A = this chain, B = another copy of it.
């Protein structure tokens, strides 16, 4: 069952008009809420970011926080088997009578669905995962979690085509983030990640990872670093709500961190598990 515009229906019965601006223009905002044991990590942070996204593109939020929480919990309850779920929530600007770039007052389209989170056990991550790198050509509003993300999907597909977990992006030589995750590197026991701003999504898991690192008495620096510095890092991680904190041990075919998940990753990974 999914939620669409006020109704709980079967996913294969869930349709939107071809006039929906989500379909015609990628004119929408989305969120992914990770639930472990049916409890969402960072629920308020995700709802705040949803609000920020709607504000950024001038869509009026159709629900209060409590209404969203009820809808999300209801969607989670439909799956009686899986305790760990990723709830996907999309709000598009809605359907107009005719296709035109500009818009008036429209009723937003709301779509919510849940899927199972298949987490990898820590023991399977000890050799790490691989990534490729590409020039970041996305729009300069990547802090807005919009549905106009063709670029991100093309990067994800390039990773898949290269048997890699992720595509790490760099703009003017500076590592920004990855196709659907934030990027961290460890150098001399200090954790680095790109500062918040228009070039990266302010990941909720990014924030939680920073908190976990600080709780582990690590120094965290939110500052820019180059692709070259990334390649010479002691450890590299990518973080996202559904993938948590993943160690990257190969980038563009070059071994990072001697091909093993590092000790600082292990420490912060364990700390993150305590949030569940």
Binding site for B on A (CB under 8 A): 2, 4, 11-12, 14-28, 57-58, 88, 90, 92, 98-99, 101-103, 111, 113, 115, 137-141, 146-154, 156-157, 159-160, 179-180, 198
Query: CB within 8 A of A25: which of B4, B26, B103?
Result: B26
Report chain B residues within 8 Å CB of A160: 102
Smallest beta-carbon distance A255→chain B, Å:
25
24 contacting pairs across A/B (C-beta < 8 A)? A4-B18, A11-B19, A14-B18, A16-B18, A18-B113, A20-B23, A22-B23, A23-B23, A23-B147, A25-B149, A25-B153, A26-B147, A26-B150, A27-B153, A57-B150, A58-B157, A101-B153, A101-B157, A102-B156, A137-B140, A137-B141, A146-B150, A147-B150, A148-B151
Cross-chain contact A16 with B19 (CB below 8 angstroms): no
Cross-chain contact B14 with A103 (CB below 8 angstroms): no
Smallest beta-carbon distance A181→chain B, Å:
11
Smallest beta-carbon distance A1→chain B, Å:
12
CA distance A203 to B27 in the complex (A): 23
Query: CB within 8 A of A149: which of B88, B102, B148, B153?
Result: B148
Query: CB within 8 A of A141: which of B58, B151, B180?
Result: B151
Report chain B residues within 8 Å CB of A113: 18, 99
Report chain B residues within 8 Å CB of A25: 26, 147, 149-150, 152-153
Report chain B residues within 8 Å CB of A23: 16, 20, 22-23, 92, 147
CA distance A34 to B25 in the complex (A): 20
Most B Cβ at <10 Å: residue of A57, A179, A180: A57
Report chain B residues within 8 Å CB of A26: 25-26, 147-150
Supposing A25-B147, A101-B153 touch, asked if A2 and B18 sit within 8 A by C-beta, the answer is: yes
